[in-house]
Amino acid sequence: MSFIWTLIVGGLIGWLAGVLTGRDVPGGIIGNIIAGFIGAWLGSLIFGDFGPEIGGFAIVPAIIGAVILVLIVSFVLRKMRGNNNHRHA
Protein backbone atom coordinates (compact mmCIF):
# COMPACT_ATOMS: atom_id res chain seq x y z
CA MET A 1 0.00 0.00 0.00
CA SER A 2 2.85 2.44 0.70
CA PHE A 3 4.10 2.17 -2.92
CA ILE A 4 0.68 3.12 -4.25
CA TRP A 5 0.46 5.97 -1.73
CA THR A 6 3.88 7.23 -2.90
CA LEU A 7 2.72 7.18 -6.54
CA ILE A 8 -0.47 9.07 -5.63
CA VAL A 9 1.41 11.73 -3.66
CA GLY A 10 4.01 12.07 -6.44
CA GLY A 11 1.23 12.48 -9.00
CA LEU A 12 -0.51 15.11 -6.87
CA ILE A 13 2.75 17.05 -6.48
CA GLY A 14 3.29 17.02 -10.27
CA TRP A 15 -0.33 18.00 -10.91
CA LEU A 16 -0.13 20.84 -8.38
CA ALA A 17 3.06 22.11 -10.01
CA GLY A 18 1.25 22.23 -13.35
CA VAL A 19 -1.68 24.09 -11.79
CA LEU A 20 0.59 26.60 -10.05
CA THR A 21 2.55 27.32 -13.24
CA GLY A 22 -0.48 27.28 -15.53
CA ARG A 23 1.21 24.72 -17.77
CA ASP A 24 0.29 21.14 -18.55
CA VAL A 25 2.80 18.47 -17.63
CA PRO A 26 3.45 16.35 -20.74
CA GLY A 27 2.43 12.72 -20.39
CA GLY A 28 -0.76 13.05 -18.38
CA ILE A 29 -0.91 11.07 -15.13
CA ILE A 30 2.44 9.36 -15.74
CA GLY A 31 4.02 12.74 -16.49
CA ASN A 32 2.60 14.15 -13.26
CA ILE A 33 4.04 11.25 -11.26
CA ILE A 34 7.44 11.64 -12.91
CA ALA A 35 7.38 15.42 -12.37
CA GLY A 36 6.47 14.84 -8.72
CA PHE A 37 9.33 12.38 -8.15
CA ILE A 38 11.97 14.39 -10.01
CA GLY A 39 10.67 17.64 -8.52
CA ALA A 40 10.90 16.18 -5.02
CA TRP A 41 14.46 15.08 -5.67
CA LEU A 42 15.39 18.48 -7.14
CA GLY A 43 13.66 20.37 -4.35
CA SER A 44 15.39 18.36 -1.64
CA LEU A 45 18.77 18.96 -3.31
CA ILE A 46 18.20 22.71 -3.42
CA PHE A 47 16.23 23.31 -0.22
CA GLY A 48 16.78 20.21 1.93
CA ASP A 49 13.99 18.31 3.66
CA PHE A 50 11.78 20.59 5.71
CA GLY A 51 8.11 20.96 6.41
CA PRO A 52 5.49 18.24 6.56
CA GLU A 53 6.24 14.87 5.02
CA ILE A 54 3.60 12.81 3.22
CA GLY A 55 4.23 9.56 1.40
CA GLY A 56 7.98 9.93 1.80
CA PHE A 57 8.03 13.41 0.29
CA ALA A 58 8.92 16.61 2.13
CA ILE A 59 5.98 18.50 0.64
CA VAL A 60 7.26 22.10 0.50
CA PRO A 61 10.59 21.40 -1.26
CA ALA A 62 8.89 18.79 -3.46
CA ILE A 63 6.31 21.27 -4.74
CA ILE A 64 8.91 24.01 -5.28
CA GLY A 65 11.19 21.56 -7.09
CA ALA A 66 8.33 20.29 -9.26
CA VAL A 67 7.37 23.88 -10.18
CA ILE A 68 10.99 24.55 -11.20
CA LEU A 69 11.02 21.33 -13.23
CA VAL A 70 7.73 22.13 -15.00
CA LEU A 71 8.99 25.61 -15.91
CA ILE A 72 12.27 24.21 -17.28
CA VAL A 73 10.52 21.47 -19.30
CA SER A 74 7.98 23.98 -20.62
CA PHE A 75 10.76 26.36 -21.67
CA VAL A 76 12.74 23.60 -23.42
CA LEU A 77 9.68 22.25 -25.24
CA ARG A 78 8.69 25.74 -26.36
CA LYS A 79 12.21 26.37 -27.73
CA MET A 80 12.23 23.00 -29.51
CA ARG A 81 8.86 23.71 -31.11
CA GLY A 82 10.03 27.17 -32.13
CA ASN A 83 13.19 25.82 -33.75
CA ASN A 84 11.27 23.14 -35.66
CA ASN A 85 8.97 25.76 -37.18
CA HIS A 86 11.91 27.71 -38.69
CA ARG A 87 13.69 24.87 -40.50
CA HIS A 88 13.90 24.98 -44.25
CA ALA A 89 14.09 22.00 -46.58
pLDDT in tens, 8-21: 999 999 999 999 99
Which string of DSSP letters, residue by residue, matches 12-41? HHHHHHHHHHT-PPTTHHHHHHHHHHHHHH
Give the per-residue pLDDT at 24: 85
Looking at the predicted structure, is the pLDDT value of residue 3 above 80?
yes
The Cα–Cα gap between 14 and 36 comes to 4
Helices (H) and strands (E) in the chain, counts: 3, 2
Q: What is the pLDDT of residue 89?
A: 52
Q: What is the pLDDT of residues 31-71, one digit of tens each?
A: 999 999 999 999 999 998 888 998 889 999 999 999 999 99
Q: Examine the pLDDT at 84 and tell me if it is beyond 80.
A: no
- Find residue 57's DSSP bridge partners: 54
